[in-house]
């Protein structure tokens, strides 16, 4: 059995990756502009931290390593501003959010790299449907054994990350009734899910990956689309369930939450093996209902996820005070529990502007830091008029209805939360 070296990192250091949408500023659909944007950034100091993603309508923004999320926030704001300047130069918009509200996967173009071309050949249309956008949070650990323990410790809190970061309620022109529909695309891959419960240390992880290789099921750790997985070459644990938030501020708040949670679970006993029993159900509830979902605790108690999250924040606050991150966690707690997640904000935007393209415009403004007071688009812009109803996308384009007709005929409730 081959050993997998684990590069030691300073505990509780952190970094993030953000997958971002490239938006046509006239139609507000996705646009295949990653090559042009990367070329524009080629000589910029952040060039090595902006990378292509699986389709040309996406890019990935990578932070450096930080000890404190305040430094992370300062860096991400600088990178956001540089990215927006480059995007303006090539005539595209940039947005967060876990899924584009009305893009068609058939129109996506796979990026020209060996890895992405292999994925397209291997997974067929799933590769193009994988045009979804997530935030990955990396937490530094000393060793492989520490990484496995942290994966186990954080796993019961996966629903909390999903519900707080959810920003993908719309897909292909309809309201999906999910707070996070992005993970439905991720879960289509055969090695999605969670780390097996029997993997309890690094040796067992190496043995599990060796079994997958010997069976022809995986070539490397990159083939493991787990919700949380070790990243040995970085010396981190990578949390992969978050939708990309609409703002860098929320993204860094989520990183601060993860950092404090890592300290908490290191001090707590390991989760009871019964914690895995409700894993898939808890995961679904968070994707479908967000903060209003049900949550089954490792002890078997059924509670409202928002209530469990509120109690978790109470436990995290002393740790945040130790780490100097009280302001960030307090801000996240108050915003989430008072006004809800980004999925709710997006639904509110749609019910204000009544058109998905105008809602996407508000997403691009939010990414620029103009979240409050979003104004309507220029009257002369050419847009596809798409309603967030249950009718097929083609029918919506062929026979657009008034907002009153859409509400009267749709089987979906006009607003969820």
CATH topology of domain 13-368: Creatine Kinase; Chain A, domain 2 (3.30.590)
Residues 6+ apart with CB under 8 A from 368: 80, 84
Per-residue pLDDT of the chain (417 residues; tens, 9 = 90+): 688 999 999 999 999 999 999 999 999 999 999 999 999 999 899 999 999 888 899 999 999 999 999 999 999 999 999 999 999 999 999 999 999 999 988 788 888 888 888 787 877 877 787 889 999 999 999 999 999 999 999 999 999 999 999 999 999 999 999 999 999 998 888 889 999 999 999 999 999 999 999 999 988 898 899 999 999 999 999 999 999 999 999 999 999 999 999 999 999 988 888 889 999 999 999 999 999 999 999 888 999 999 999 999 999 999 999 999 999 999 999 999 999 999 999 999 999 999 999 999 999 999 998 864 333 333 333 344 444 444 433 333 344 444 444 444 443 434 333
Q: What CA–CA distance (Å, rounded) separates 340 from 163?
A: 9
Q: What CA–CA distance (Å, rounded) separates 131 from 71?
A: 30
DSSP 177: S
pLDDT value, residue 1: 65
pTM: 0.88
Angle between helices 144-154 and 248-267 (to 10 degrees): 110
Q: How far apart are the first and last CA of the chain?
A: 51
* Beta pairing partners, 271: none
Helix ranges (DSSP H) in 2-108 = 34-40, 69-90
Q: What CA–CA distance (Å, rounded) separates 96 from 19?
A: 8
pLDDT value, residue 408: 42
* Beta pairing partners, 225: 192
Neighbours of 415 (CB within 10 A): 11
To 10 degrees, the CA torsion angle through 40, 375, 170, 123?
-10
pLDDT value, residue 371: 60
- Longest pairwise C-alpha distance within the chain: 64
To 10 degrees, the CA torsion angle through 252, 254, 257, 262?
-100
pLDDT value, residue 124: 82
Apex 204 CA angle, 198 and 205, nearest 5: 95
Binning the chain into helix, strand and coil, the percentages to the nearest 5 are: 50, 15, 35
Secondary structure (H, E, C), 139-176 = EECCCHHHHHHHHHHHHHHHHHHHHHHCCECEECCEEC
Q: For residue 9, which of 154, 201, 138 has the smallest C-alpha distance? A: 138
pLDDT value, residue 114: 84
Q: What CA–CA distance (Å, rounded) separates 50 from 71?
A: 19
To 10 degrees, the CA torsion angle through 403, 408, 412, 416?
70
Instruction: With beta carbons less than 8 A apart as the criterion, state whether 225 and 219 touch.
Output: no
DSSP three-state, residue 274 = helix
Q: How far is CA 130 from CA 3, 123, 219, 238, 383, in A?
A: 31, 10, 20, 19, 24
pLDDT value, residue 271: 84
């Amino acid at each position: 059995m081959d050993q997998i070296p684990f590069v030691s990192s300073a505990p509780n250091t952190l970094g993030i990756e953000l997958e971002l949408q490239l938006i046509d500023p006239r139609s507000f659909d996705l646009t295949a502009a990653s090559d042009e944007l990367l070329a524009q950034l080629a000589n910029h100091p952040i060039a090595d931290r902006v990378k292509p993603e699986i389709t040309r309508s996406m890019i990935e923004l990578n932070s450096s390593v930080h000890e404190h999320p305040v430094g992370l926030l300062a860096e991400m704001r600088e990178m956001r501003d540089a990215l927006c300047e480059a995007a303006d130069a090539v005539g595209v918009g940039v947005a967060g959010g876990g899924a584009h509200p009305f893009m068609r996967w058939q129109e996506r173009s796979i990026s020209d790299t060996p890895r992405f071309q292999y994925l397209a050949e291997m997974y067929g249309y799933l590769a193009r449907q994988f045009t979804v956008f997530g935030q990955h949070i990396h937490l530094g650990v000393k060793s492989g054994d520490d990484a496995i323990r942290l994966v186990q410790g954080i796993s019961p809190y996966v629903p909390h990350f999903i519900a707080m970061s959810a920003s993908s309620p719309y897909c292909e022109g309809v309201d999906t009734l999910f707070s996070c529909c992005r993970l439905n695309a991720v879960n289509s891959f055969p090695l999605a899910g969670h780390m097996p419960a029997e993997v309890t240390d690094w040796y067992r992880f190496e043995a599990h990956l060796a079994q997958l290789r010997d069976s022809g099921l995986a070539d490397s750790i990159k083939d493991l689309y787990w919700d949380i997985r070790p990243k040995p070459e970085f010396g981190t644990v990578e949390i992969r369930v978050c939708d990309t938030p609409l703002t860098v501020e929320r993204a860094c708040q989520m990183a601060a939450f993860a950092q404090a949670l890592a300290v908490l679970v290191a001090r707590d006993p390991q989760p009871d093996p019964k914690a895995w029993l409700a894993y898939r159900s808890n995961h679904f509830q968070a994707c479908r209902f967000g903060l209003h979902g049900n949550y089954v605790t490792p002890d078997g108690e059924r509670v409202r996820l928002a209530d469990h999250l509120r109690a978790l924040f109470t436990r995290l606050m002393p740790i945040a005070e130790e780490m100097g991150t009280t302001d960030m966690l307090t801000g996240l707690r108050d915003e989430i529990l008072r006004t809800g997640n980004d999925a709710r904000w997006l639904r509110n935007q749609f019910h204000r502007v009544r058109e998905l393209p105008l809602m996407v415009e508000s997403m691009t403004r939010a990414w620029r830091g103009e979240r409050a007071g979003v104004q309507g688009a220029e009257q002369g812009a050419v847009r596809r008029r798409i309603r967030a109803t249950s009718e097929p996308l083609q029918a919506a384009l062929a026979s657009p209805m008034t907002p009153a007709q859409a509400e009267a005929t749709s089987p979906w409730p006009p607003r969820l939360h």
